[in-house]
Chains A and B, each alone.
Chain A
């Protein structure tokens, strides 16, 4: 039987329209907008000024403090301004605007595609290069990778888990990467194993990608200490805690981190970025982005420079359809709906999904009929039907006691609700308020 997490989960239509399509390079955009906060934690601090000439891969902003990340120029050209711009969440954020001129790379970066298998450096050096390259979790959470690799004192990592699940409907960027860059991913896994000083790595892939499973299994046979697992297709299997449970049988304790059960998780895209950073000396300045939607002319997997406006991607995929209702950064379950299509691609952008007018309208909210479907699909075993009214009534103590902070915001409850109740909308609000209360208590 295929492995999976035991409780909860849903199976939305997969709609992997761009599966099996090769990764294509799109033309360099005339200008890029590089946000200074593309990672969880403090924004990076710009070290370039207006008018500076930069080259692709050049450091333009440095990570500030413990939880932050470096940011690099993704194209060569001139810094036209450093200004605020609206990010995917609608907030104004500092960004560096660069006008593209040619495609010159910073010295020392190998921008070719030749596989470099061998390495002879120690774990500390690997972590140092990953830190310098500004690598963050590419699955969407954008947690700075070097922070994960510096395992806190008193804790010990035993396994590396690599997330090739891609459980969000529509998205195929990780799938494409696994098919085309399997060798590089294997090297990346070995590098991360060395950095973490662990002997075994597990790669989890959902069973709707049999070609990727086969390919990585063949490759892993030639590498020591890498196991590939086929997982049952069930959302949210790509959730860190669900994936660890599915593969290792361990449950990350409530409020804890994966390392509490001896596991460190990296997304497959992050692993590839680690390979590039260490073996090619190439910072994180491009990534694979799926552009998809039922009415998109050519759903595609593009290799995109960070900072490219998503309108350029939409153009390259045949333009914005007439009936567009929603433009989503990420997948349909957890992605963010964008207010405009000039938002730039950031490190955490796994895909752009275009939904039509009819797909983007919500149904009328009906009374809760206590069907208990939300309880049975919650992968964290919470009671969404109870959390929603508690959040509406600002009953924060009760919410906290009902484990609202365990919610991973996967949206399975809202997805399944036959009464179309916006469960997660309110739970998210309640969670945010309870989070503030908990933080203020700690001070």
Chain B
């Protein structure tokens, strides 16, 4: 035989998956969410998303090229996903330079300091968001009104998020049911007609994205379902105890980024546990911490902090929660 043959160990075929395809799948699944943000916030949504993606990609490229002097892996698409998700966690009227700062922090500190893709313990987009929230609390909590602010960017008219409004009302001694009369109804909230960050408003768009990612097997159902379920049960119990001081569970799920967090932020492959049992513990932990912050803390929302806190527990979960090995139990029938 004249030709040399390739000799390598088995397996000799692979599933033809790649990191690029996974990341691209996430991007595709975010299209409905992006369209919803364009519909409700117009030009601001476009500006924020563009700046965030471009800055994230540039930051990663510059760090890889000049600081680390390694191969530039920008093509894996992970920086695009981080950029998109960071933008979806911001209000549409945030000054452009804050978006740049947040993106640089997300990639530079949140991801590259740990060694880049696959090594970061915390969700980079959330690290960026929380950095901005702590640094610029006023700008980060002024929320443009939906639809009316379509043609405005910085100068958009603002209002409270439903969750913020209810929190404030409870603090002022009003009952939840009084506060609810001032808010959009559940169907409007489900479609996304409320103040909030770009990606958190439309439950419909988020659920479409979720189903797409399930269909493409990018994520499993465990984290989103358990996290949302935990929030529902916990807030439901509180609501049953005192409905005048606590909002209904469905309200909690439709507002304040629970769905965005459950479907896109908590499921980040790199920063979530490796076993199904681990995922359940992690997701339930996020749900509980979210409600604790919302109900007993000073922030109206709690999803970002809850996810970052549980991110810190992931190595511990991975160490102690092992798959149930084959052949561990001997069954005699």
Contact = CB atoms under 8 A, between A and B. Distances in A.
Contact of B331 (A251, A327, A376, A419): A251
A372 B269 contact: yes
Contact of A369 (B5, B8, B22, B327): B22
Contacts of A419: 18-19, 118
Given A326-B5, A337-B5, A367 B326 contact: no
B11 interface: yes
A403 to B, nearest CB: 6
B241 interface: no
A151 interface: no
Interface in A337-378: 337-341, 353, 355, 359-363, 366-373, 375-376, 378
B118 A340 contact: no
A332 B323 CA distance: 27
B7 interface: yes
Contacts of A339: 5, 7
| Residue of A256, A336, A415 ringed by the most chain B CB atoms within 10 A | A415
Contacts of B135: none
A415 B14 contact: yes
Contacts of B325: 254, 380-382, 403, 406
B330 interface: yes
Interface residues of A, number: 76
Secondary structure at the B interface, as helix, strand, loop or mixed, is loop
B332 A375 contact: no
A250 B331 CA distance: 6
A210 interface: no
Interface string B1-38: 10101111111111101110110000000000000000
A336 B119 CA distance: 34
Contacts of A376: 220, 276
Contacts of A325: 5-6
A253 interface: yes
Contacts of B269: 369-372
Contacts of A250: 330-333
A253 B327 contact: yes
Contacts, number: 183
B96 to A, nearest CB: 30
Contact of B10 (A327, A333, A379): A333
A35 B9 CA distance: 22
Interface size class of B (residues with CB under 8 A): 35 or more
Interface in B69-96: 73, 76, 78
A356 to B, nearest CB: 11
Interface string B299-333: 00000000000000000000000111111111111
Given A360-B6, A369-B270, A372-B274, A251 B18 contact: no
A335 B13 CA distance: 11
Given A332-B12, A334-B10, A252 B5 contact: no
Secondary structure at the A interface, as helix, strand, loop or mixed, is loop
Contacts of B73: 366
Interface in A69-94: 90
Contact of B76 (A169, A256, A326, A366): A366
B187 interface: no
Interface of B: 1, 3, 5-15, 17-19, 21-22, 73, 76, 78, 116-119, 220, 269-276, 322-333
Given A248-B333, A250-B332, A369-B269, 11 more contacts: A7-B324, A249-B333, A254-B326, A260-B330, A324-B5, A355-B12, A366-B76, A371-B22, A375-B275, A383-B323, A415-B14
Interface of A: 7, 10, 12, 90, 169, 241, 245, 248-256, 260-262, 320, 324-328, 330, 332-341, 353, 355, 359-363, 366-373, 375-376, 378-383, 385, 403, 406, 409, 411-412, 414-420, 422, 424-425, 428
